Amino acid sequence: MTSAGEREVGPSGSDSAGAGPRWPPVPWAERMLGEARFGHLATVDARGTPTVVPCCFALVDGDVGEAPALVSVMDEKPKRVDDRETRRVRDIVATGSVALVVDDEDEDWSRLAWVLVRGRATIIGPGEVGHAGAVMALRTKYAQYREMTLEGRLVIRVGDLSALAWRATPEGTVPAKSPSPIGPVDVTPRFRDAMGMIRGRRSVRVFTADPVPQDVVRQAIEAAGWAPSPHGRQPWRFAVVDSESAKRALADAMARTWEEQLALDGQAPEVIAVRLRKGRERLLGAPTLVVPCLFPEVLDAYPDPDRREAERVMAIQSLGAAVQTMLLWLYAEGWDAGWMCAPLFCPDVVRETLDLPVDLIPHALIPIGRAEREPVRRERLPPGDLIVGWR
Site for ligand FMN in 195-214 (CB under 6 A): 202-203, 205
* 301 vs 341, beta carbon nearer ligand FMN: 341
Q: How near is the Cβ of 344 to ligand FMN at its closest, in Å?
A: 8
- Our finding on whether 361 is near ligand FMN (CB under 6 A) is no
Provide the residue type at 57 as one letter.
Answer: F
* 4 vs 341, beta carbon nearer ligand FMN: 341
> How far is residue 71's CA from residue 62's CA, in Å, rounded to a whole number?
11
> How far is residue 155's CA from residue 60's CA, in Å, rounded to a whole number?
13
Which of 4, 64, 209, 341 is in the footprint of ligand FMN by CB under 6 A? 341
CA 302 to centroid of chain Cα atoms: 40
> How far is residue 314's CA from residue 199's CA, in Å, rounded to a whole number?
25
Which of 77, 80, 190, 378 is in the footprint of ligand FMN by CB under 6 A? 378
CA 351 to centroid of chain Cα atoms: 30
- Strand pairing partners for 40? 54, 101
Q: How near is the Cβ of 347 to ligand FMN at its closest, in Å?
A: 14
- Our finding on whether 64 is near ligand FMN (CB under 6 A) is no
Q: How near is the Cβ of 49 to ligand FMN at its closest, in Å?
A: 42
Q: Are 187 and 176 in contact (CB under 8 A)?
A: no
Q: Which of 74, 90, 171, 164 is nearest to 125 (CA)?
A: 74
- Our finding on whether 167 is near ligand FMN (CB under 6 A) is no
Q: How near is the Cβ of 327 to ligand FMN at its closest, in Å?
A: 8
Q: How near is the Cβ of 365 to ligand FMN at its closest, in Å?
A: 8
* 131 vs 247, beta carbon nearer ligand FMN: 247
Contacts of 78 (CB under 8 A, 6+ apart): none
Contacts of 94 (CB under 8 A, 6+ apart): 45, 46
- Our finding on whether 381 is near ligand FMN (CB under 6 A) is no
Q: How near is the Cβ of 305 to ligand FMN at its closest, in Å?
A: 24
Burial zone of 46 (CB within 10 Å; 0-12 exposed, 13-18 middle, 19+ buried): exposed
- Our finding on whether 280 is near ligand FMN (CB under 6 A) is no
* 355 vs 385, beta carbon nearer ligand FMN: 385
- Our finding on whether 386 is near ligand FMN (CB under 6 A) is no
* 51 vs 324, beta carbon nearer ligand FMN: 324
Q: What are phi and psi of 43, to 5 degrees?
A: -125, 165
> How far is residue 112's CA from residue 196's CA, in Å, rounded to a whole number?
12
Q: How near is the Cβ of 391 to ligand FMN at its closest, in Å?
A: 29
Q: Are 7 and 166 in contact (CB under 8 A)?
A: yes
Site for ligand FMN in 310-339 (CB under 6 A): 339
CA atoms within 13 A on the CB side of 267: 16
* 73 vs 365, beta carbon nearer ligand FMN: 365
Q: How near is the Cβ of 292 to ligand FMN at its closest, in Å?
A: 10
Q: What are phi and psi of 365, to 5 degrees?
A: -130, 125
* 156 vs 293, beta carbon nearer ligand FMN: 293
CA atoms within 13 A on the CB side of 304: 3
Q: 351-377: b or e for each residue (b if 16 or more CB lie within 10 Å)?
A: bebbebeeebbbbbbbbbbbbeeeeee
Q: How near is the Cβ of 282 to ligand FMN at its closest, in Å?
A: 8
* 308 vs 331, beta carbon nearer ligand FMN: 331
- Our finding on whether 97 is near ligand FMN (CB under 6 A) is no
How many C-beta atoms lie closer than 10 Å to residue 124's C-beta? 19
Tell me how many residues contact ligand FMN (CB under 6 A): 9
* 45 vs 259, beta carbon nearer ligand FMN: 259
* 164 vs 340, beta carbon nearer ligand FMN: 340
Q: How near is the Cβ of 340 to ligand FMN at its closest, in Å?
A: 4
Whether residue 24 is preceded by a cis peptide bond, meaning omega within 30 degrees of 0, is yes
- Our finding on whether 379 is near ligand FMN (CB under 6 A) is no
Residue numbers of the site for ligand FMN (CB under 6 A)? 202-203, 205, 339-342, 377-378
